[in-house]
Amino acid sequence: MATLFLVHAHPDDEAISTGGIMMRAHEDGHRVVLVTCTRGEEGEIHNMDEAATRPRLAAVRTAELERAGEILGVDRQEFLGYRDSGMAGTDANDNPSSFHLAPLREAGERLAVLLREEHPQVVVTYTSDGTYGHPDHIKAHHTTVAALDLLAREGWTPAKFYLSAIPHGFMQQMLNMATEAGMEMQTDGIRILGIPDEEITTAVDVRDLADRKRQAFAAHVSQNDPNSPFQSMASQIYEIVFGTEHYVLARGELGEDRPERSLFVGV
């Protein structure tokens, strides 16, 4: 049995970008450890009263994460203990408790404590741009790198360190599909450019898990915008959009010719 160790920024990020590999790892008998850096205090609120929920959103999203974790097969879930920094350019960026402002060495040392306890074979976080530029996603990347650098100096390193990524070509394909289907994509100022296709080292087919991946995201009730096109998307389209998870191997050796079909091949 090996261990998959994932570092995410907020509750719900795990289901959207890595839900498939988490369920696949669980089904294959591997241990799944999820570290969530914040409790998502600055997230939007859907399907519940804004005024009543906002003061307790951290607790709401913690409970939602627990339910999603049950679907995804999480064996251990920990919070890194920082506050959601909000989207780039918002007042929340300046909150002294925000993850965005946390000293990198301190955050890296907190994460290193958990890595020492688990000694995972496979570690996963975001690319350096945080996929779409969110301050907490970017900080999660740098925190994970800092923690792994610290442990490398102590003589330990995981077999593989991956960055969850969206290929530029795939992103363009999805946008074209949405346009042809007449879907209006609400970006709320978010722009996902994707990374060059040739940088992708690993593509995991999780089409058979797409429905359960959708259920895991649905467990994050407060984050499910009822007006989002993803809510009404046909299962066949959802499978195309979320049925393959892409990664870049940042450290370690490929287990087979590119693109690898599993994060655990060669481990």
User: What string of H, E and C letters represents the secondary structure of 229-259?
Assistant: HHHHCCHHHHHHHHCEEEEEEEEECCCCCCC
Q: Computed from CA positions of residues 145, 151, 153, 159, in that sequence, does the dihedral angle turn out positive or negative?
A: negative
3-class SS at 159?
A: coil
Tell me the pLDDT tens digit for each residue of 25-66: 999 999 999 999 999 999 999 999 999 999 999 999 999 999
Cα distance between residue 19 and residue 206, in whole Å: 9
The neighbour count for residue 17, using CB atoms within 10 Å, is 22
Query: Do the bridges between strand 160-165 and strand 244-252 make them parallel or antiparallel, or are there none, so unpaired?
Result: antiparallel
Tell me the pLDDT tens digit for each residue of 175-204: 776 666 666 555 455 566 788 999 999 999
82 φ, ψ to 5°? -110, 165
Tell me the pLDDT tens digit for each residue of 255-267: 999 999 999 999 9
Average pLDDT over residues 80-99: 94
Under 8 Å between Cβ of 123 and 116 = no
Core vs surface per residue 77-94: b (16+ CB within 10 A) or e: bbebebbbbbbbeeebbe
Core vs surface per residue 129-157: b (16+ CB within 10 A) or e: bbbbebbbbbbbbbbbbbbbebbeeeeeb
What pTM did the predictor assign?
Answer: 0.93
Element (H, E) at 34: strand 31-38
Tokens of residue 127, six digits: 């690319």
Tokens of residue 260, six digits: 């690898």
Amino acid, res. 75 = D
Core vs surface per residue 195-205: b (16+ CB within 10 A) or e: beeeebbbbbe
Cα distance between residue 144 and residue 124, in whole Å: 9
Tell me the pLDDT tens digit for each residue of 198-241: 999 999 999 999 999 999 999 999 999 988 766 767 676 777 77
